[in-house]
Structure 1
Amino acid sequence: MAPTTQLRRAVASSFLGSVIEYYDFLLYATASAIVFNKVFFSSLDPLVGTIASFGTFATGYLARPLGGVLFGHYGDRLGRKRMLVLTMTLMGVASFLIGLLPTYAQVGWLAPAGLVLLRVLQGIAVGGEWGGAVLMSAEHATSRRGLWASFTNAGAPCGMVLSNLALSATAALAGEKAFLEWGWRVPFLLSVVLLGIGLFVRLKVDETPVFRAERTRSSAPLVDVLRHHPRTLLLAVGVGLAAFVAQSTLTTFVLAYGVQAGTPRQVILNALTLSSACAVIGIIAWSAASDRLGRRPVVLGGAVLMAAFGFVLFPLVDNGFVVIALVLGQAVVHPMMYGPLAALYSELFSTGSRYTGASLGYQIAGLGAGLAPLLFAQVQRSAGVGAIPFILAAFCVLTVVCTLALHETSRTSLTGDGDAERGTGQLAAPPRAHGADA
């Protein structure tokens, strides 16, 4: 029996919403590596300008926990759907306005200041989007939760593909000079078109049955998470941290490093586009595997492999094998760590505080993605790129330790309040057997 209509709509809405949100959010990431240092920080030394550009990139990640708390609070009290409409609108408007910003040459310091402000709004929007989108799929599903929830995470590399295609097409059509003058703006201005499409789809999805069945609504979901799930929240952050550090290393820092190493910008963008497209398959496949193997074994395997892969990543880029480096990293190793997180985070918290708890854990871990390029650029400047794999491996070790401290969550029920320390105590009653009809 095929999945219900509402489940299909919920999964489609979560995937499309994630694609649009991350198109906007990661478009900034790519632009920060190859454009913004020349447009908004043109008065600085090239390497210093890159560091400053990565600094504005990081502000979006710093704002994401705030978005998780803000929209999580109202998502736990008023419903998942309402908040998802608001987050998508906020992201679309902020990205559109980035496309209209004047440059440093035109208005001086007001240009980077406006860039930081709009990046913060982007961070707040995507911080609230992820938790609601995951729960729309996970709370509609009655089995294979890892598979269905993973479509939200799969939307991130798909959004990367669209943003890279938009930048690449604009760069090819406009030429280098015109691209830096106005061409980079076009992909940001297109956000308003994607916003209209996303809202049309999202408004057709019903509120989740799990949320509708919840009898008690907490007046302070954040307090509930901090009071009843403190250990779970800390472990959740540790489990996801290395995945985000690895993600931004592969999708942001390697771009800037590759250009500095002499690889043409378009070659790197093409490699990133191909590897991001392959990552969609990897995320869905490894997440589906976590339904049968468990969340912990898949995440643990990915963390160990990523720790080792870091030591071959930069030699591959140095020797011109950037395509192999990014495809292996993004499509094979990283999805093992990242894909199962969607279901895992939703399984760690009870219904009344699930939006807040899942969002907060995920977005605090996500700080690793925002700060890693800035950290690695500083490390490269002071100690050379050879020190970076050791730092990446240390984050992976942290993920291994925290994952081992969690109990398996793949058979945890999302209905009811469950255990006070879900994922670290006794599991709730399991849902129907995996593979049953959704």
Structure 2
Amino acid sequence: MKTNTQVTSPPDPTVTRPELRRAAWSSWLGSSLEYMDFTLYTLASALVFGPLFFPNETPAVALISSLGVYGSGFVVRPIGGYVFGRVGDKHGRRIVLIVTLSMMGIATMGIGLLPTYAQIGIWAPALLVLLRLVQGFGAGAELAGASVLLVESSPVRRRGLFGAIVAMGTNSGIFLATVLWTLLTLLPDDAFLSWGWRVPFLLSIVTTFVALAIRTKVKESPVFEEAKERRAEATANQVEQPSILVEARQSAKSFLLALGIRMGENSAVYLVKGFMVGWVVTTTGLDSAVVTTGIMIGTVIGFATVPYFGKLSDKLGRRPVFLGFTLFQILFAIPAMLLIETGNPIVIAAVFAIFVGGPLPNLYGVESSWLVELFGSKHRYTFMTTIKEVGSVVSGGLAPVIAAALVAVITDSWWPVAIVLILFAGCGLLGALFAPETRGRDLTTEVDAVDESRALQ
């Protein structure tokens, strides 16, 4: 196992408290908007987009079509992440985050304003796809960029706490979207399908304007400013700089470790909040409100646990906190399935509340600061966005598909779901075991923490 790479504590960034507060609020609201978009589209795919945008298809095909549009956003996320990551490393984190926030906000509001198939025909689903692509392209750099800017601007001994704010934003987005959608579904069916479903999409523009008002006043990351000065000096002295491909090869080990950490965290999000919701409702015959209630309770719990464990990672380190939640997730997988098998609504809701209030947001909260500290300053934004989005596609895309395939083959059994949860959590366990501790690391260095740790041994 690796030891802490901290030798002497580097100085805190030259960021005032008001500037740091603006960066924190900006990151919170930006991540809230992304996950509000994500949750709203997931809910609308099942209930609204099929009949309104694909009315000529059978209900099953319409649902598949609307989910296909949803998936298109994920296809472009890695591309958007790489493009904006490169811009962020060259021109600054702040400008990218302003652009990505604007793209997501405009696209989300646009979905709320879209005419239906009955009004403009085939142009309706075509525009829905276009807006979803814009949404996904911008979202590809939002969460990683928010983490990078906030952690690079934070006091050294409080990076874990401030990095966890991004996870708090994801909680806020999911909670707001779920509450709004639940309230609107109380409308008569005709009113809901006519205008009710549009309300939360249109309201997202309020979050966008508030976040933009704050983000335009956020100071650029001091770490980036220093890296920019070094790059200008190297150019003036005609020092040849390695290409991004060379840098990527040199960071291969950091990539693999970070990818394992990301897969362990991200797979559970899509398995629990995505696949398991439908699977539990289908197998137990319970009303879906039981599961969504558990998720909402867990989300509220997360508002308390995320800052606490972010702060704990500043005291104990990133590795022990991440490993603790990963081990809990592995050990809880089989008991969770057995508890779901009881069919008791309160017990099932409690299982989802434990997942959503415990490992899911806290693994991401710790990851937000750990991955920023893991990479060197020169290409940190590019590598962060690449890892997050590739990890999302691999784990978030594959885990539910593998679970669904196994359940289809091995019917009337819970163990395939538990096995998939454990195997993907194992990827996070391996990544965390072999990654170095980074608490207190100097973020201005261009060397990855893995290489720095090796040099100190």
2:78 equivalent to 1:78: no
Structure 1 partner of 2:357 = 331
Q: What is the alpha-carbon distance in structure 2 between the residues aligned to residue 163 and residue 12 of structure 1?
A: 19
Provide TM-score, normalisation by structure 2: 0.84
How far apart are residue 196 of structure 1 and its match? Answer: 1.2
Q: What is the alpha-carbon distance in structure 1 between the residues aligned to residue 111 and residue 397 of structure 2?
A: 18
Q: What is the alpha-carbon distance in structure 1 between the residues aligned to residue 288 and residue 100 of structure 2?
A: 32
Structure 2 partner of 1:250 = 272
How far apart are residue 39 of structure 1 and its match? Answer: 4.8
Structure 1 partner of 2:297 = 274
The one of 158, 167, 178 equivalent to 2:181 is: 167
Structure 1 partner of 2:449 = 422
Q: What is the alpha-carbon distance in structure 2 between the residues aligned to residue 242 and residue 391 of structure 1?
A: 11
Say if 1:362 and 1:346 are closer, same or farther in 2 by CA, change over 3 A: same
Residues 399 and 420 in structure 2, CA contact (< 8 A), matched pair in contact too: no
RMSD: 2.9
How far apart are residue 81 of structure 1 and its match? Answer: 0.7
Structure 2 partner of 1:290 = 313
How far apart are residue 351 of structure 1 and its match? Answer: 1.5
How far apart are residue 113 of structure 1 and its match? Answer: 4.6
Q: How does 1:100-115 map to 2 (within 5 A)?
A: 100-103=113-116, 111-115=124-128
Q: What is the alpha-carbon distance in structure 2 between the residues aligned to residue 17 and residue 284 of structure 1?
A: 18
2:263 equivalent to 1:236: no
State which structure, 1 or 2, has the greater radius of gyration over its C-alpha atoms: 2
Say if 1:59 and 1:414 are closer, same or farther in 2 by CA, change over 3 A: same
Residues 60 and 370 in structure 1, CA contact (< 8 A), matched pair in contact too: no
How far apart are residue 335 of structure 1 and its match? Answer: 3.2
Aligned-partner residue type, residue 164 of structure 1: T
Provide TM-score, normalisation by structure 1: 0.87
How far apart are residue 21 of structure 1 and its match? Answer: 2.3
1:194-249, Cα deviation, whole Å (9 max, x unpaired): 21111111112111111112223498874354132122112211111121111122
Say if 1:427 and 1:339 are closer, same or farther in 2 by CA, change over 3 A: farther
Q: How does 1:6-405 map to 2 (within 5 A)?
A: 6-36=19-49, 39-40=52-53, 43-44=57-58, 46=60, 53-103=66-116, 111-143=124-156, 144-172=158-186, 174-214=187-227, 215-217=229-231, 222-223=244-245, 225-260=247-282, 261-317=284-340, 318-320=343-345, 321-367=347-393, 368-384=395-411, 386=414, 387-405=416-434
Q: What is the alpha-carbon distance in structure 2 between the residues aligned to residue 364 and residue 234 of structure 1?
A: 11
- 3-state SS of paired residue (1:120): helix
Q: What is the alpha-carbon distance in structure 2 between the residues aligned to residue 383 and residue 106 of structure 1?
A: 45
- 3-state SS of paired residue (2:375): coil
Say if 1:283 and 1:89 are closer, same or farther in 2 by CA, change over 3 A: same
Structure 2 partner of 1:408 = 437
Q: Which moved more, 1:63-72 or 1:270-279?
A: 270-279
Q: Name structure 2 gaps, 5 residues minimum.
A: 1-14, 233-240
Say if 1:20 and 1:224 are closer, same or farther in 2 by CA, change over 3 A: farther
Q: What is the alpha-carbon distance in structure 2 between the residues aligned to residue 299 and residue 38 of structure 1?
A: 43
Aligned-partner residue type, residue 280 of structure 1: F
Say if 1:53 and 1:394 are closer, same or farther in 2 by CA, change over 3 A: farther
Residues 166 and 365 in structure 2, CA contact (< 8 A), matched pair in contact too: no
Residues 264 and 429 in structure 2, CA contact (< 8 A), matched pair in contact too: no
Q: What is the alpha-carbon distance in structure 1 between the residues aligned to residue 104 and residue 386 of structure 2?
A: 19
Q: Name structure 1 gaps, 5 residues minimum.
A: 430-438
How far apart are residue 129 of structure 1 and its match? Answer: 0.9
Say if 1:388 and 1:64 are closer, same or farther in 2 by CA, change over 3 A: same
1:234-290, Cα deviation, whole Å (9 max, x unpaired): 221111112111112222223333443433344443332222222232222222211
1:164-213, Cα deviation, whole Å (9 max, x unpaired): 111112112x2344324442222112222221111111112111111112
How far apart are residue 162 of structure 1 and its match? Answer: 0.8
1:28-48, Cα deviation, whole Å (9 max, x unpaired): 2333355445555663464x7
How many percent of aligned residue pairs carry the same amino acid? 33
Say if 1:372 and 1:245 are closer, same or farther in 2 by CA, change over 3 A: same
Q: Which moved more, 1:177-186 or 1:276-285?
A: 177-186
1:296-315, Cα deviation, whole Å (9 max, x unpaired): 12222222221233334455
Q: What is the alpha-carbon distance in structure 2 between the residues aligned to residue 353 and residue 50 of structure 1?
A: 40
Say if 1:7 and 1:295 are closer, same or farther in 2 by CA, change over 3 A: same
Say if 1:41 and 1:382 are closer, same or farther in 2 by CA, change over 3 A: farther
Aligned-partner residue type, residue 433 of structure 2: L
Residues 224 and 353 in structure 1, CA contact (< 8 A), matched pair in contact too: no
Aligned-partner residue type, residue 152 of structure 1: V
1:404-438, Cα deviation, whole Å (9 max, x unpaired): 12111113110232x3x423542899xxxxxxxxx
Residues 347 and 409 in structure 1, CA contact (< 8 A), matched pair in contact too: yes
Q: What is the alpha-carbon distance in structure 2 between the residues aligned to residue 313 and residue 33 of structure 1?
A: 26
Say if 1:125 and 1:196 are closer, same or farther in 2 by CA, change over 3 A: same
Residues 21 and 91 in structure 1, CA contact (< 8 A), matched pair in contact too: yes
How far apart are residue 163 of structure 1 and its match? Answer: 0.8
